[in-house]
Structure 1
Amino acid sequence: MKVVAIGTVADVAKLVGENRAIVALGLKDLAKSTNPGLRALMEVAGCGDGKGMTAYDLGFRLGPRINAAGRMDAARAVVELFDTRDRDEARRLAVHLDARNEERKAVQRQIFDLAVAELAEGKASTHVAVIAGEGWHRGVIGIAASKIAERINRPCVVFSIDGELAHGSGRSIEAYHLLDGLTSCADLFEKFGGHSHAAGVTIRPDRIDQLRQRLNDHAASCLTEEDLEHSITIDMELQAEDLGYQLATELQSMEPFGAGNPRPVFATRGLRSLSEPLVMKGQHLKLRLAGASNKPWEAVWWNCVGDGEQTPEVKGGIELAYTLETNIWNNELRIQLNVQDLQCKN
């Protein structure tokens, strides 16, 4: 049940019905795991002994380290990890998978930066981003396409050109049926397939420009300007004084969160920054915020550095959209605000 739970979340299956029950049972069972490989992987991924783990840990800590092995051509290590009964060997393999995941993130970031630079040069059109590069790692172009689509709020297809063929991976936004768009260009492909929000294609490189034009024409006939605007649905507005462990505990009863059961998004006005934001790993910002009562809260804004987002000034006013999460550090329960968006009132 533990491995099924990891697979269910990592595959972004909707956490409703029996999937929800499977993941809930698997999470409870992880702390009881006796498999040396799974134990070692949890430790390397920062999940400790498995107590208090959530679907977030499966999707963003364990899942990526397992998936990275296949993406970076080392899938055998995962089989060996779960098969070994030797703790030292399990630790070695878990560290190896962790390193492959770091390698995957570095390659993904490189492709993302190159693709964004191409977008900035105006090589991608208005409604769908179609981006190509020589020799980009095929194992990570799907993740790159997903990140780009999320950033620009437009469908995106990323191609890795390898000789006479280009292999592409596409991701879409809620308002656009990607497979319908690709089907309208079917005569251009060597092969293609997928569904409404994700697809894979193979095409000759000299046809990519034609695909870009035709796919944009199709999307333009389906999408409105409103569809292309970034938006966040706020579930409830809270006062800073409403935040606390009671609310966090009540939210925990709604776990597991994930696809089909998203974590509630809250908004709070009248916050202010208590200190200079701390840049983490060159990508994320850690903020210390407080409301009228001066009680400090830790907030993390993931992957915002370099995206042109506003940076809060010390003592500057802030309106914050966020999700509320708990984590355990040194056996202490902590509350963390995960920033979805903010507006500075300096």
Structure 2
Amino acid sequence: MGHIWKKYEVDQDEVLSLAAAIAEQKHPEKKPSSELKILCNSLVHREIKSIDEAKSFLNPLSITEYDPLSMRGMNEAVKRLKQAIDHNEIIMVYGDYDVDGTTAVALMISYLQSRTNNVFHYIPDRHTEGYGISKIGVEFAADQGATLTIALDCGIKAIEEITLGKEKGIDFIICDHHTPTDTLPDAIILNPKQPKCTYPFKELSGCAIGYKLIKAFEALEPSDFNANELLDFVAVSLACDIVPLIDENRVLAAKGIQTLCENRRPSFELMLGMDLANDVPTIADLVFKIGPKVNSAGRMDHGHRAVELMLEKKLDKARELFSPLLELNIERRVHEQKATLEALEDLEKIKERRFTNVVFRPEWHKGVIGIVASRLIEHYYRPTIVFTESNGSLVGSARSIQDFDIYETLLSCSHHFIQFGGHKYAAGIELEQTKFQLFQDEFEIKVKEKLQGKEPVSELYYEMEIELSQITLSLARKLQRISPFGPGNKRPAFVIRNLHDTGKSRAVGADKDHLQLFVTTARNSDASIKGIAFGLGKLLGQIQHKEFDILANISINRWKGTEQVQLEVKDIRLYQ
């Protein structure tokens, strides 16, 4: 799949003004360095244009979090939770089976156990209950005598289930970040996206909203518990739920990574494979090392496995709980790879021009269809839905492309669904088998209209063109201060032109899919920089004989106590 390279437009007068102001404050006798100008270009692109704004942005640990009591429903939620604790009511903590839901449950249980002995958790079975609050879960709460349920990362659309719970004497506090509909359930709702909520930031994860409830409770009913010690759960949820890492999310993620290293929970150290006393993980580490392992529990077996692991404080016991997750993750990969190949075969058979990828096979494992949808977009850059059969109906997982709101499009087709939910870039669907073709046709038409008949093309944005000689460990350290990186605050990308292979580049990986690069320029062939280009191993033979340009991030490779600048190459353009 080809990419279009686009440069962000940044006002260079503002860049020079910020760089000059910072340089004058630090070294009045010196002009701004090349590295400082590159950093300031990235800052101005992020609307950081003054010294005070730069100081704050580059030190996220010093930024004050928003007042949790400004969230609509929060005072009512604290009051109801206090009542439950004071009267020894039984509380059920209910969470979704993905990373956001399971981290949220681990977070809330960790806190509530310091306040009451009458609390237990419940994760629905992905295969028999599906997403969200289930009637089976409500019945279980009633059987256990629960009179309050705290639902995390779900519940905003569970109108029937919550009505059933109310009939059984169960109240609900909903901590959900998904987009609400016009009709809300009969519950205390904590969701910044709900109408009339004045909370300043709308994009928290479900786990982060649970954290806000705890912070509010501690503000009004203080104890010796340090709620900040739970921020490692929040950081993992923010990273793995792919929410925008801007504003308060960036602050919570930065503080959470610091907490991750301080707490050194056995579960996170095992999943990361890192010594958190000496190594600091990145958001990418959380996404690619923790996320798949936690998700494998809910996808392939049951999400309670992940919660139990995250709550375990003893290393030996954590190892016992971790081992089955590794096996489940291997099983998940097998199912994912098989379904991806089969889905690609199905798409290759379609000859007419399409604006969507919609595929279905009844035998595909329900736990991997979301990952498969993401893989298909890497080959066919279109809004994508992968369906399988479950309990007599079809369930689908939708993934979108850049700047395309798939939730809004699905909402316009929702008359076909039994149920659906999600957000701008991802959604889940359930529909009757007889309606599949009708939905597929309407979805194609709606997407085509929204794209105005223009086939979508993957766009890679970069901030500047720079010389290979400007790429130093010092520059990489300066750019690292913009982190944590993620959606909305992506690692700065640069274009470097007129490069040559030093002769050391090679294809790597089990299937030689990836490219380990050693690049130099004709003007300075003695200096070279190492890089990695995932998925571009097929280009090895061509870069060995041609000059080329790259679009890449600049990062730091840490190994056995040493640091080395490296390039994370996103695309390569060969000279003809």
TM over 0.5: yes
* 1:318 Cα offset (Å): 1.5
**Structure 2 counterpart SS, 1:221:** helix
* 1:128 Cα offset (Å): 0.8
Match of 2:450 in 1: 222
Query: Any conservation in 1 of the 2:558–2:564 contact (CA below 8 Å)?
Result: yes
Alpha-carbon distance change, 83 to 180 in structure 1, aligned in 2, over 3 angstroms: closer
Alpha-carbon distance change, 317 to 220 in structure 1, aligned in 2, over 3 angstroms: same
**Structure 1 counterpart SS, 2:402:** coil
* 1:157 Cα offset (Å): 0.6
Q: Which residues of 2 match residues 106-125 of structure 1 at below 5 A?
A: 106-122=334-350
Match of 2:419 in 1: 191
Q: Distance in 2 between matches of 1:303 and 1:96?
A: 29
Match of 2:324 in 1: 96
* 1:159 Cα offset (Å): 0.3
* 1:59 Cα offset (Å): 1.7
Which among 273, 280, 301 is matched to residue 509 of structure 2?
Answer: 280
* 1:13 Cα offset (Å): 2.0
Q: Which residues of 2 match residues 293-308 of structure 1 at below 5 A?
A: 293-294=524-525, 295-304=527-536
Query: Any conservation in 2 of the 1:118–1:124 contact (CA below 8 Å)?
Result: no
**Structure 1 counterpart SS, 2:398:** strand
1:160 counterpart = 2:388 = yes
Give percent identity, aligned residues only. Answer: 28
Which among 510, 521, 540 is matched to residue 291 of structure 1?
Answer: 521
Alpha-carbon distance change, 162 to 29 in structure 1, aligned in 2, over 3 angstroms: closer
**Structure 2 counterpart SS, 1:14:** coil
**Structure 2 counterpart SS, 1:149:** helix
Q: Distance in 2 between matches of 1:314 and 1:246?
A: 29
Greater alpha carbon shift after TM alignment, 4-13 vs 287-296: 287-296
Q: Distance in 2 between matches of 1:285 and 1:251?
A: 24
**Structure 1 runs not aligned, ≥5 long:** none
* 1:211 Cα offset (Å): 2.2
One-letter identity of the residue aligned with 2:296: A
Q: Distance in 1 between matches of 2:352 and 2:396?
A: 15
Query: Any conservation in 2 of the 1:310–1:344 contact (CA below 8 Å)?
Result: no
One-letter identity of the residue aligned with 2:297: A
Alpha-carbon distance change, 284 to 225 in structure 1, aligned in 2, over 3 angstroms: farther
Query: Any conservation in 2 of the 1:125–1:216 contact (CA below 8 Å)?
Result: no
* 1:309 Cα offset (Å): 6.5
**Structure 2 counterpart SS, 1:232:** strand
* 1:143 Cα offset (Å): 1.8
**Structure 2 counterpart SS, 1:159:** strand
* 1:227 Cα offset (Å): 5.8
Alpha-carbon distance change, 176 to 29 in structure 1, aligned in 2, over 3 angstroms: closer
Q: Which residues of 2 match residues 16-95 of structure 1 at below 5 A?
A: 16-43=246-273, 46=274, 49=277, 51-95=279-323
* 1:236 Cα offset (Å): 0.8
**Structure 1 counterpart SS, 2:450:** coil
* 1:205 Cα offset (Å): 3.0
**Structure 2 runs not aligned, ≥5 long:** 1-230
1:328 counterpart = 2:558 = yes
Which among 374, 398, 412 is matched to residue 170 of structure 1?
Answer: 398
**Structure 1 counterpart SS, 2:251:** helix
TM-score, length-normalised on structure 1? 0.89
* 1:186 Cα offset (Å): 3.0
The one-character-per-residue Cα deviations of 1:175-224 (angstroms, maximum 9, x if unpaired) are 43323332343333333333332221112334323322221111221214
Alpha-carbon distance change, 27 to 233 in structure 1, aligned in 2, over 3 angstroms: same
Query: Any conservation in 1 of the 2:448–2:454 contact (CA below 8 Å)?
Result: no
Q: Distance in 1 between matches of 2:545 and 2:490?
A: 32
**Structure 2 counterpart SS, 1:166:** strand
One-letter identity of the residue aligned with 1:94: F
* 1:154 Cα offset (Å): 0.8
One-letter identity of the residue aligned with 1:265: A
Query: Any conservation in 1 of the 2:271–2:289 contact (CA below 8 Å)?
Result: no
One-letter identity of the residue aligned with 2:236: I
Q: Distance in 2 between matches of 1:279 and 1:237?
A: 28
